[in-house]
């Protein structure tokens, strides 16, 4: 998944063990199409997401002490997306031409539960965060040439598409986001003890089209 979701968390219990996980949820029940002459996405009809069970990606550093999580940027750069509903590799399954939003979950470790292979969120000890600026549209081919160029330049998995000898961090003009937001983004939830756990999105591209693999 590129651009990847990268966050920082605050106000965790330094000594408590936590899992950090992410899933991707539909923004709405609409299917979209890209209209070239107006350069915008338009609703093409309704859809049913009930045929796909949401998958939870658990960060590989989990479980880890709150002190450690708060010290570092938490990156979900290993998340893989697919539109193959028969996928058995643990990739997050999405439908093409739909809008989605990632959710980040901070899960307090419960000694009564084995969360190493969790398939769904526990009913207790979970704080979830969404950032509107991370919403994206799934496509099977990129609809915007600027997005294609941006990803070729910046995506570490697209080395074969870059010009020979070109610095992978060479500058390009990025598409402009017409909505002005705090480039970090932030969200917070208050715990039962009155402490507010905060999750900050690390600055990056606000919106993008994500290509869903057929594999």
Kindly state whether residue 82 falls inside one of the protein's structural domains: yes
The residue whose two tokens read 């060479």 is: 170
E strand or H helix at 152, and its extent? Answer: helix 145-154
Nearby residues of 64 by Cβ (< 8 Å), 6 or more positions away: 17, 18, 20
pLDDT tens per residue, range 74-97: 999 999 999 998 999 989 999 999
Q: Record the pTM.
A: 0.74
- Per-residue pLDDT of the chain (215 residues), as tens digits, is 888 899 999 999 999 999 999 999 999 999 999 898 888 899 999 988 777 888 999 999 999 999 999 999 999 999 999 999 899 998 999 999 999 999 999 999 988 877 766 778 888 899 999 999 999 999 888 767 887 888 788 777 666 655 554 444 333 333 333 333 344 455 544 343 445 666 777 765 434 444 444 44
> What is the model's pLDDT at position 142?
76
> What is the model's pLDDT at position 214?
47
For 150, which DSSP code? H
For 90, which DSSP code? -
User: Contact, 215 vs 185, CB < 8 A?
Assistant: no
> What is the model's pLDDT at position 199?
75
> What is the model's pLDDT at position 101?
96
Kindly state whether residue 158 falls inside one of the protein's structural domains: no
CA distance 92 to 84: 9
> What is the model's pLDDT at position 158?
65
* Joined tokens for residue 76: 């979900």
**Domain tally for the chain?**
1
Kindly state whether residue 49 falls inside one of the protein's structural domains: yes
User: Contact, 201 vs 131, CB < 8 A?
Assistant: yes
User: Contact, 83 vs 212, CB < 8 A?
Assistant: yes
Kindly state whether residue 67 falls inside one of the protein's structural domains: yes
CA distance 157 to 152: 9
Q: Is 68 helix (H, G, I), strand (E, B) or coil?
A: helix
pLDDT tens per residue, range 160-197: 655 554 444 333 333 333 333 344 455 544 343 445 66
> What is the model's pLDDT at position 52?
81
Kindly state whether residue 168 falls inside one of the protein's structural domains: no
* Backbone dihedral angles phi then psi of residue 197, each to the nearest 5 degrees: -80, 125
Kindly state whether residue 167 falls inside one of the protein's structural domains: no
The length of the chain in residues reads: 215
Kindly state whether residue 64 falls inside one of the protein's structural domains: yes
Which domain range does residue 36 map to?
Answer: 6-142+183-211
Kindly state whether residue 52 falls inside one of the protein's structural domains: yes
Nearby residues of 89 by Cβ (< 8 Å), 6 or more positions away: 80, 82
> What is the model's pLDDT at position 36?
86
CATH code, domain with 18: 2.60.40.820
* Joined tokens for residue 15: 């000594």
* Joined tokens for residue 183: 């480039």
């Amino acid at each position: 998944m590129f651009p990847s979701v990268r966050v920082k968390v605050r106000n965790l219990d330094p000594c408590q063990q936590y899992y950090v996980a992410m899933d991707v949820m539909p923004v709405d029940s609409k299917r979209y199409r890209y209209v070239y002459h107006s350069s915008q996405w338009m609703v093409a009809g309704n859809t049913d997401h009930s045929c796909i069970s949401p998958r939870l990606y658990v960060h590989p550093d989990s479980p880890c002490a709150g002190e450690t999580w708060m010290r570092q940027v938490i990156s979900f750069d290993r998340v893989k997306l697919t539109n193959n509903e028969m996928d058995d590799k643990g990739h997050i399954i999405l439908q093409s031409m739909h809008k989605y939003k990632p959710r980040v979950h901070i899960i307090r470790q419960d000694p009564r539960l084995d969360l190493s292979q969790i398939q769904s969120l526990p009913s207790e000890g979970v704080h979830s965060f969404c950032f509107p600026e991370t919403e994206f549209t799934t496509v099977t081919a990129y609809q915007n040439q600027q997005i294609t160029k941006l990803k070729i330049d910046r995506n570490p998995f697209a080395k074969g598409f870059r010009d020979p000898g070109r610095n992978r961090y060479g500058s390009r003009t990025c598409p402009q986001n017409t909505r002005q937001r705090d480039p970090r983004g932030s969200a917070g939830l208050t715990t039962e003890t009155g402490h507010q756990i905060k999750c900050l999105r690390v600055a990056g591209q606000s919106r993008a089209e994500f290509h869903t693999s057929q594999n």
